[in-house]
Structure 1
């Protein structure tokens, strides 16, 4: 990659990371909150590398090893014991000390050193180019250029500053795996508050595992976003849960009854009671709610956890 891109790429990426994790909360769309210090540190390191590259002189060309040989003349002279030999074709070769003699075509001597052709063009030895200016083909053309398409690498880094990819929502939830609800042995008594705020996971556990049937007849309040259920026109209240980042996201869903489906991705606080389907407290029970009230809310700060919602600061 060319010199300007080597500076711009880490600089833009570092600035984007700091913008997403230090200045705003955009990083919560992609990773868990606990990874914030690592993102800030990574952004700072990338900016430091870009600054170092910008202030350090790069691309120095090594000094030339010697002047090119003239046509038909030796490139170097070692002394009185130099000998010149010619083959049957009249081409000149290196002497016993490995010194080059031009024949107009360019050869490699016994030491593997490059030689000049009859036009004074340098040829690389086995370790690199003769003049240190970069790789060259047999015609002396430089092929160190970077394809223009490499500049497209700057677009993802620039997008972190100018356009943050949208948050995961109903489209992802409809195609993601449902989060496995862990088996819980024994449940504490529920608070007496009404409506009772519960997470989707806690509500599901109570419906399918709580033998005391504590949620029977209780009015609960659940929070999540709308995911269409399919052709029947039903819908789910959904939360997407990150184990580490968006790549390993899973969903927790509770089926809603009694209200038409709101627009997908709408965040709601839904109040209702358990929808009787299956035997409460067993695996046959469906995690479902008869909706009494559904109010739109702003997406919470902890949108990718299944916790009681935190309101934006």
Structure 2
């Protein structure tokens, strides 16, 4: 593969990064929203480097071709007659296929398969960083929309159990329970990128299991456990109403 081909690869990679960040929200399947400007800058840099590499090689190829035409070949052998040319094998062009595949096949966000094997978010020592539910609840007759991350943290750490009896609205995707009892409503939480994702989930046993990886909005209440709340592996959620929703643009919390 010559330098022009290498420049084309750089341009395609840069274009893929720009299309995922500027033309769509596809990048949210892999990294947090805060990384958007860095990915866009990297895409611009790759495109610029690729264009420069192509331009430099084309400019150098012009005089070289002219000199070669003026000098006769007295040896009677072409440049590649003995395999001493500088071109890589034609099979090297197959390296372009993964780059082109970025434009054709877009890997989806992590889902039920990952959540089934991912680490469960560990409980924290205290709920001091959480808002006071009594002050921040709003209309008590309406369910409060809450991230699964916040709900799980409160269920695990709030020793006063202020969640008890309150109607909460959660949104997540369906994960089958490998142990057979009920199913999980889950959401993945990542600190940097999809590679470090951990799962927040609640166990639902009072509703039929929907299709795996489908997204649902559920209204219901925390099933208050007996004993120490931090000893509970999976907190249960009793569903009053549930409705299927479209996949959110940002699937992570």
Q: How high is the TM-score relative to the length of structure 2?
A: 0.82
- Counterpart for residue 240 of structure 1: 188
- Counterpart for residue 132 of structure 2: 189
- Counterpart for residue 229 of structure 2: 282
Structure 1 position 21, deviation (Å): 0.4
- Counterpart for residue 76 of structure 1: none
Structure 2: give runs of 5+ residues left out of the alignment. Answer: none
Q: Secondary structure at the match of 2:37?
A: helix
Equivalents in 1 of 2:186, 2:170: separation in Å?
10
- Counterpart for residue 115 of structure 2: 173
- Counterpart for residue 38 of structure 1: 38
Question: What does 1:42-191 correspond to in 2, within 5 Å?
Answer: 42-56=42-56, 57-58=59-60, 141-142=83-84, 144-186=86-128, 187-190=130-133, 191=137
- Counterpart for residue 93 of structure 1: none
Structure 1 position 156, deviation (Å): 2.5
Structure 1 position 234, deviation (Å): 2.0
Q: How high is the TM-score relative to the length of structure 1?
A: 0.67
Structure 1 position 185, deviation (Å): 4.3
Q: Secondary structure at the match of 1:23?
A: coil
Structure with bigger RCO (C-alpha 8 Å, 6+ apart): 2
Checking the alignment, whether the CA contact within 8 Å between 2:186 and 2:200 is kept in structure 1 is yes
Count of residue correspondences: 237
Structure 1 position 202, deviation (Å): 1.6
CA 1:185–1:258: 2 relative to 1, 3 Å: closer
Equivalents in 2 of 1:220, 1:188: separation in Å?
15
- Counterpart for residue 241 of structure 2: 293
2:176 matches 1:228: yes
CA 1:185–1:166: 2 relative to 1, 3 Å: closer
Q: Secondary structure at the match of 1:150?
A: helix
Structure label with greater radius of gyration: 1
Equivalents in 2 of 1:263, 1:185: separation in Å?
34
2:33 matches 1:17: no
Q: Which of 166, 172, 175 in structure 2 is aligned with 1:218? A: 166
Q: Deviation digits for residues 15-52 of structure 1, max 9, x if unmatched?
A: 11111001100010111111111111111111112221
Q: Which of 191, 207, 212 in structure 2 is aligned with 1:264? A: 212
Checking the alignment, whether the CA contact within 8 Å between 1:181 and 1:201 is kept in structure 2 is no
Checking the alignment, whether the CA contact within 8 Å between 2:119 and 2:198 is kept in structure 1 is yes
Checking the alignment, whether the CA contact within 8 Å between 2:171 and 2:217 is kept in structure 1 is yes
Checking the alignment, whether the CA contact within 8 Å between 2:181 and 2:205 is kept in structure 1 is no
2:134 matches 1:206: no
Structure 1 position 152, deviation (Å): 2.8
CA 1:255–1:148: 2 relative to 1, 3 Å: farther
CA 1:120–1:162: 2 relative to 1, 3 Å: closer
CA 1:179–1:203: 2 relative to 1, 3 Å: same
Structure 1 position 257, deviation (Å): 1.9
CA 1:231–1:152: 2 relative to 1, 3 Å: farther
Equivalents in 2 of 1:39, 1:227: separation in Å?
31
Checking the alignment, whether the CA contact within 8 Å between 1:184 and 1:205 is kept in structure 2 is no
CA 1:140–1:188: 2 relative to 1, 3 Å: closer
Checking the alignment, whether the CA contact within 8 Å between 2:123 and 2:157 is kept in structure 1 is no
